[in-house]
Amino acid sequence: MTDAPWWRGAVTYQIYPRSFLDTNGDGVGDLPGIIDRLDYVAGLGVDAIWIAPFFKSPMADFGYDIADYRDVDPLFGTLADFDRLLAKAHALGLKVMIDQVLSHTSAEHAWFRESRESRDNPKADWYVWADAKDDGSAPNNWLSLFGGSAWQWEPRRGQYYLHNFLTSQPDLNFYHPDVRAAILDSVRFWLDKGVDGFRLDAINFCFHDRELRDNPPKPKEKRTGRGFSPDNPYAFQYHYYNNTRPENLAFLGELRALMDRYPGAATLGEISSEDSLATMAEYTRPGRLHMGYSFELLTDDFSAAHIRGTVQALEAQMTDGWPCWAISNHDVERVLTRWGRGRPSAQLANLLTAMVCSLRGSVCVYQGEELGLTEAELPYEALQDPYGIAFWPQFKGRDGCRTPMPWSDVDAQAGFSGGMPWLPVPAEHHALAVSRQEADPHSVLNGFRRFMHWRKSQPALRWGDIAFIDTAEPVLAFTRRLAGQTVLVAFNLADAEVAIDLPAELGEQQPLDGHGLVAGRLDGRRLHLPGHGAWFASVA
C-alpha cells in the first residue's frame, strides 16, 4: 500500500487562521503566523494541513462569507504570503488543503451586487431569487440554520433571495451553467497555485428544489440534528428540498473531472443531511468526491455503541468510497469537554486521538487537540459568533472552541498576539501552552506526537479493513487487517479499570509497543484495560 494516494489514511491538521498566531499585533491570526509555526505542525507527525477560509470577506461569518474567491483578505495577509506558506509546507513534507465555500457567497461579492440590481442584468439569475406569495410572505417555509426564514426580501428586485445560513450569505443558483463554470474556474485558480486539495464546506447545499416545495414538519421526538440543537427551529423540518438534491451529483462529477487533471489533488466534502452516512457513501462513489466526513462523531454521545454503530453503518453503505473522521472542529464544542464529562485528563486526550486515528479512513484533527484544550466559557459580552449571539443562552455558539492557540505561558495573551486578541485566551489554557508541554515528556502534546509517529509504522492502521468485536460498554474493540497483518485494537472509554474476555478465534497475540498510551495486559484470553487504557497487539 506504499503506492496509496497521500490522502488515504492521512492525518490532516485543521488550522483556524484567526486563532493560530498573530504576527502583526492586530489581535487576529494571519498567514505569516501559520508560516512561522509550520515546523511545529510538521513535528506533530501529521501529513497535511487544512486551512479554514482566508479569502477576502466582510467577516460576517468569519471568512465563510466570501467576497472574492481568488484573493486573500488583508486581515490575513497577501497572495504572496500564501505562496510562501505553500512552498514552506511542501518543503516540510506537508500537503496543503484549503476550504472552498461553493454553495453561497457574501452579499458583498461583486456577483451578488450585480444580481440584486435588477431582474434582467447579466448576473440576474446567478442567485436563487423567487417572487413573494400573494400575501407578501416568503416563497416557502424553508428555514436558515442560523435562525428564521431562509428567505430575505430585496427591494431593488422586488423578490426574495435564498440564504441557508446568514442573510449576508446568499445562495448561488447552481442550475445556471455560467455559475458552475465560474465556481470551477475559481477552484482551478488554487489548483494552478499548487494546493493539494480542498475541504468543501456544506457541499450538499449547492442545489435547491426547483419547484420550491415546502419542507415537511418533523415530529418533536425526531428533532435531532448534527451541527444544530433540537430547540433550533431548523430541527423542526425534514430538509428534503433545500439541500442534498439529486442534481448535485452531476456537479460533483464536473468537479471531479477538473480535479483529475491535477494528479494527487483531493477533495474532502463536509456533509450534513437527513441521513449523512448515506449521503457520504453516495457522494464518494467513483467519479465524485475522494473523501467525505460528517458530524456523526461530533456529537455528545461518547459510547462504544455509538462509535461502533456509526462506523459499521457507514462501512455497510460505503462500498467504494473512503471515509474521513473528526471528533473536533471549529463548529462544535471541544471534544475533551464534550466527551470528558467534566473530568478531562491528559490520558483521555491521548486516548481520543488514538481512537479516531485507529478507525478505517483518514482523520482531521483540530488545532489545540494535541494540547488537550477544553472548551472556553465566554461571557455574552465576549461573543463574536452570530450563531451564538442569536441563540444565547441555550446555545453559546462556536466561540468557545475558537479561542487563540496558547503558545507560551509567560504573557497574558499566551504568545498568540502582541495586541488584544479577537477572543480572550482562557486562563486555564495558559497551563496547557506549547512551551510548557514541550518540556514535559508526559504531556498531551508529547503523547500526541508519539502516537502519530508510531502510527506511521503500522500499515494496517492506515489502510487496513476494519471488523468490530462485540464488547460491552465501555470497551471499543476491533481488528484492522492488511496484506496478512492483523492488529487488534481495544480502548477503555471509561476512567475505571475493566476486564473483558476476547474471542478464542482471535489466536495468539503479540503486544505492540511504542504507541505511548497506558497499555492493558493480557492474561490468557482475558484482557485487563486500565482506565482510559488501550491495547494494540499483532494477531497471529
Write the DSSP symbol of residue 74: T
Please identify which of the residues 270, 315, 370, 375 carries the catalytic annotation.
270
Neighbours of 518 (CB within 10 A): 15
Quote the CA–CA distance of 444 and 351 in Å, as a whole number. 10
Quote the CA–CA distance of 262 and 82 in Å, as a whole number. 19
DSSP-assigned beta bridge partners for residue 467? 479
Q: How many Cα atoms sit within 13 Å of 185 on the Cβ side?
A: 7
Grid coordinates given for 104: 453561497
16: closest CA among 81, 61, 68, 71? 61
Residue 509 makes CB contacts below 8 A (sequence gap 6+) with 488, 522, 537, 538, 539, 540
Grid coordinates given for 142: 424553508
* Strands (DSSP E) found in 402-474: 465-469
- Residue 333 among the catalytic residues: no
Grid look-up 486581515 returns 75
Show the DSSP H helices in 226-303 as ranges. Answer: 248-259, 276-283
The helix/strand/coil state of 20 is coil
Are the beta carbons of 332 and 519 closer than 8 angstroms? Answer: no
Grid coordinates given for 29: 491570526
61: closest CA among 35, 114, 99, 98? 99
Distance in angstroms between the alpha carbons of the first and the last residue of the chain: 21
The helix/strand/coil state of 365 is strand
Element (H, E) at 537: strand 534-539
- Residue 254 among the catalytic residues: no
Are the beta carbons of 201 and 101 closer than 8 angstroms? Answer: yes
| Residue 2 φ/ψ, nearest 5 degrees | -65, -15
Quote the CA–CA distance of 402 and 247 in Å, as a whole number. 34
Please identify which of the residues 196, 201, 369, 370 carries the catalytic annotation.
201
Grid coordinates given for 319: 462500498
DSSP-assigned beta bridge partners for residue 469? 477
Q: What DSSP string runs through 516-528?
A: -SPB-EEETTEEE
Give exposure, 430-451, as e/b (b: 16+ Cβ within 10 Å). Answer: bebbbebbeeeeebbbbbbbbb
263: closest CA among 322, 190, 196? 196
- Alpha carbon 484 to chain centroid distance? 33
137: closest CA among 122, 148, 123, 124? 148
282: closest CA among 230, 311, 323? 323
Neighbours of 118 (CB within 10 A): 11
Q: Known catalytic residues?
A: 201, 270
